């Protein structure tokens, strides 16, 4: 598996497996199938309410801990202040059955994320989080955090897909030493992604599916990506992207389908600031 090296020195697989919207009952099997398919990076979050099931699958897999790369995320409610965030980390680690995390992320740029970041810096210094990062930070919020913190986030996990490519933001992150990670690589199928004529034509040229073209396109851009599927055949398909290469012309044609707009919502929309900022995870 191809990997990137984070600013923390940690090696991170470039393709991983995400479990958002996989309910707790289905998660253990999905993660077991993903590990069997060869995924080693698993991406969950306290807000997904399936950390315990992820933990059971990890324990049952028998895969040595050092071969895995486990990410979870701190929810908005686990602030203000460092103490609340540290308690939330302990709860997540306990649910996952792990004594350290490979990557711990501030899930949303809302509330007291500076307090959360100070807690994450402490967890990183203590070796409990091998790398720390953020998610859904727009360029202004990311730069402000970098300017006013001791540790630069190793990762910013944001929506990236063919319709929201964020090349300028990736350039800014690279300059700051922040690794970009894509969530929603298929835009969950929105805007007709799985029937897109440009992606289909490129796929036909390579003898690959649209999903594989999208994952390969992200890998060639140096974007870490965590596709989600509950179907073993798709898990394998989404991982089988290391034995072909897109040409410069194919990359350029995919670049041209960019709509430069989120396929979900803008994290700066006041409606979402209220909805996500006040959502509670039991
Ligand atoms: P994706 O873009 O990965 O799309 C997932 C959808 O695509 C599912 O409906 C899946 O269906 C389908 N699919 C997967 N593979 C294929 C394939 N080969 N062919 C056809 N359809 C396919 O969306 P997600 O929102 O799940 O994003 C991925 C991960 O990113 C999440 O699981 C989560 O870990 C993370 N994430 C993080 C967020 C954040 O705020 N930080 C927000 C959202 C996601 P099926 O399962 O039936 O195969």
DSSP structure class, residue 126: T
Distance 61 CA to ligand 1 centre (A): 23
- pLDDT tier at 89 (50, 70, 90 boundaries)? very high
> Active-site residue 48, yes or no?
yes
Cβ neighbours of residue 147 under 8 Å, at least 6 residues apart?
A: none
- pLDDT tier at 28 (50, 70, 90 boundaries)? very high
The protein residue whose alpha carbon is closest to atom 30 in ligand 1 is 183
User: What pLDDT does residue 81 have?
Assistant: 83
152 pLDDT higher than 90:
yes
The protein residue whose alpha carbon is closest to atom 26 in ligand 1 is 228
- The CATH class, in words, for 3-278 is alpha beta
**Ligand 1 pocket by Cβ (under 6 Å):** 18-20, 43, 135-136, 157, 183-189, 194, 209, 211, 226-231, 234, 237-238
Q: Ligand 1, closest atom to CA 135?
A: 41
Cα dihedral 33, 39, 45, 47, rounded to 10, equals -40
1 pLDDT higher than 90:
no
Distance 159 CA to ligand 1 centre (A): 11
Distance 20 CA to ligand 1 centre (A): 7
β-bridge pairing 69-74 and 101-106: parallel
User: What pLDDT does residue 282 have?
Assistant: 78
Tell me the C-alpha to C-alpha distance, in Å, between residue 12 and each of 16, 61, 142, 239. Answer: 9, 20, 21, 15
Taking residues 107-133, report their average pLDDT. 97
User: What pLDDT does residue 189 have?
Assistant: 98
The protein residue whose alpha carbon is closest to atom 14 in ligand 1 is 229
Distance 21 CA to ligand 1 centre (A): 8
């Amino acid at each position: 598996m191809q990997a990137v090296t984070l600013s923390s020195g940690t090696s991170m697989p470039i393709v991983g497996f995400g479990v958002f919207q996989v309910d707790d009952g289905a998660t253990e099997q999905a993660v077991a199938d993903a590990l069997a398919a060869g995924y080693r990076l698993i991406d969950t979050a306290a807000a997904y309410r399936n950390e315990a099931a992820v933990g059971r699958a990890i324990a049952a897999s028998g895969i040595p801990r050092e071969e895995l790369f486990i990410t979870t995320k701190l929810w908005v409610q686990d602030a203000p202040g460092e103490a609340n965030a540290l308690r939330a980390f302990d709860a997540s680690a306990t649910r996952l059955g792990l004594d350290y995390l490979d990557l711990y992320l501030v899930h949303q740029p809302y509330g007291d994320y500076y307090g959360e970041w100070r807690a994450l810096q402490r967890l990183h210094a203590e070796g409990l989080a091998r790398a720390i990062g953020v998610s859904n930070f727009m360029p202004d919020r990311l730069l402000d955090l970098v300017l006013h913190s001791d540790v630069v986030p190793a990762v910013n996990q944001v929506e990236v897909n063919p319709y929201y490519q964020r090349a300028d933001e990736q350039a800014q992150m690279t300059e700051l030493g922040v690794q970009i990670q894509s969530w929603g690589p298929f835009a969950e199928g929105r805007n007709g992604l799985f029937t897109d004529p440009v992606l289909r034509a490129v796929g036909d040229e390579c003898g690959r599916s649209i999903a594989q073209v999208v994952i390969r396109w992200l890998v060639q851009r140096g974007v870490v990506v965590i596709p989600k599927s509950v179907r073993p055949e798709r898990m394998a398909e989404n991982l089988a992207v290391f034995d072909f290469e897109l040409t410069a012309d194919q990359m350029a044609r995919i670049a041209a389908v960019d709509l430069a707009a989120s396929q979900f919502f803008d994290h700066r929309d006041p409606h979402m600031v209220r909805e996500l900022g006040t959502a509670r995870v039991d």
